[in-house]
Amino acid sequence: MDQFDVDLFVIGGGSGGVRAARIAAGHGAKVMLAEEYRLGGTCVIRGCVPKKLFVYAARFAHEFEDAAGFGWSVDNVRFDWATLVANKDKEIARLEGAYRANLNRAGVEIVAQRASIEGPHAVRLADGTQVTARTILIATGGRPNRGLDFPGCELGISSNEIFHLERFPDRIIIQGAGYIALEFASLLAGLGSKVTVIHRGDKLLRGFDEDIRARIVDEMAQNGVEFAFNVTIEGIYDEGSEKRVRLNDGRDLFADEVMLAIGRVPNTIGLGLDTVEVHLDEAGAIAVDGLSRTNIPSIYAVGDVTNRVNLTPVAIREGHAFADTVFGKRPWQVSYDNIPTAVFTEPEIGTVGLTEQDARAQGRRLDIYQTDFRPLKATLSGRTSRVFMKIVVDQANDRVLGVHLIGEGSGEMVQMAAIAMNVGATKADFDRTMALHPSSAEELVTLRSKHTTSDPLPEASTEATPAL
């Protein structure tokens, strides 16, 4: 008789945990998964998916404006927040049902309770039941950082609450400079809110290419987002019909809501990790090796709770690798090179590979190709937004090290660029590729002039049809 109740117990029903459970079950393992909230995790329930739906909603405002230049008359345009929230909730419920159905089909037993670790091979459910497992996987993800401590900080909302506001905020102040802060700033401005972004530093999007960091400020400002740099919030005060925000430079700003988007932290509280002395790193994340193993041989962890690369596709890949390795006898490790990333601001950002700054820090000699042009659509719409593209190339072997974009469709384009980079594409390979005309994407294969920091941008790419 097997000495364990299950082969695998998964704590957390987000993307990483669900993938690991399904694949392990497919390999013949007896799997139980515990999720105390809703299946799908942050991404599906209150992250990537609902956010992207809100992004789509916000972009209609620009489409209505642009339509006039193409001969359309769009009158009496009206936005209803309650309708958007209700329709979003329906779609999230559908997706959660799909996650549940997939787990059921795979034979995974779902437990709608909180679970904590009680031993190297034991977990305790909220109802007091103990379950023993040959292997335990922690996939509890992350949560909004609530580490601020100032008067009224509890009056601020996070990226969790923004999806469920009963009333649309006509004015909102957002503290933060990462992708979550900027995406909500853009989409709320597009929906009609007066948005002010507060940041203690002087640049946005730490870790992104410096040209992207500089240009996105101007682009977002053109779309109505206001910025206050080198300041922070000292207090939030409830004034009845509004909130008063005191900045550390003495100014008072007023808003309907204040969103604190200062990052996310690994969700390790209350998991019982200290019971078995699972090691955490300096950030409070679960420390793991390349195969997602903790210091306890029977306990593994994947996804944002490990604070490696906090993206949903990464968590899914880590969960799959774990299941194949431990239960499928097909060991493999996740590669964290050339992970494409999109920031759904307006306009959106797409990036993959090394930034120019990181590549130079590695001692590489580089060729930089970049362009800035007015997209074809803007010639009739009159919109002032421009497309920016940058390719970072290693002089030693002509390999493309990084692609960084701002403009419509950047996320879609950079996904394709990632494929090329992962098979070792060179700049010559890009140059040999036939352009698709007319498109913004053709610029990625028609760039020829090298750019230096002391030279102006190439004149060939200043209008909507640069390839002609």
pLDDT per position as a tens digit, 375-405: 999 999 988 899 999 999 999 999 999 999 9
pLDDT higher than threshold 70 for residue 461: no
pLDDT higher than threshold 50 for residue 463: no
Average pLDDT over residues 236-243: 94
pLDDT higher than threshold 60 for residue 129: yes
When pLDDT is cut at 50, 70 and 90, the band that residue 468 belongs to is very low
pLDDT higher than threshold 90 for residue 218: yes
Residues 6+ apart with CB under 8 A from 166: none
Q: Is 437 marked active-site? A: yes
The pLDDT, as a whole number, for residue 456 is 35
The pLDDT, as a whole number, for residue 75 is 87
pLDDT higher than threshold 50 for residue 126: yes
The pLDDT, as a whole number, for residue 343 is 97
What percentage of the chain reaches a pLDDT higher than 70? 96
The pLDDT, as a whole number, for residue 458 is 37
pLDDT higher than threshold 50 for residue 354: yes
Cα–Cα distances (Å) from 329 to 2, 9, 123, 222, 322, in that order, read 20, 18, 25, 54, 10
Q: Which two tokens stand for residue 23?
A: 């694949």
**Beta carbons within 10 angstroms of residue 231's beta carbon:** 17
The pLDDT, as a whole number, for residue 462 is 38
DSSP 377: T
The pLDDT, as a whole number, for residue 453 is 52
The pLDDT, as a whole number, for residue 457 is 37
| Catalytic residue (one of 199, 279, 404, 437) | 437
Average pLDDT over residues 222-234: 96
**Beta carbons within 10 angstroms of residue 335's beta carbon:** 11
pLDDT per position as a tens digit, 28-85: 999 999 999 999 988 889 899 999 999 999 999 999 999 999 999 988 899 999 999 9
Residues 6+ apart with CB under 8 A from 403: 350, 351, 352, 353, 389, 390, 391, 392, 414, 417, 421, 444
Average pLDDT over residues 259-274: 94
The pLDDT, as a whole number, for residue 42 is 87
pLDDT per position as a tens digit, 132-173: 999 999 999 999 998 788 999 999 999 999 999 999 999 999
- Write down the number of H helices and E strands in the chain: 13, 21
Average pLDDT over residues 353-370: 97
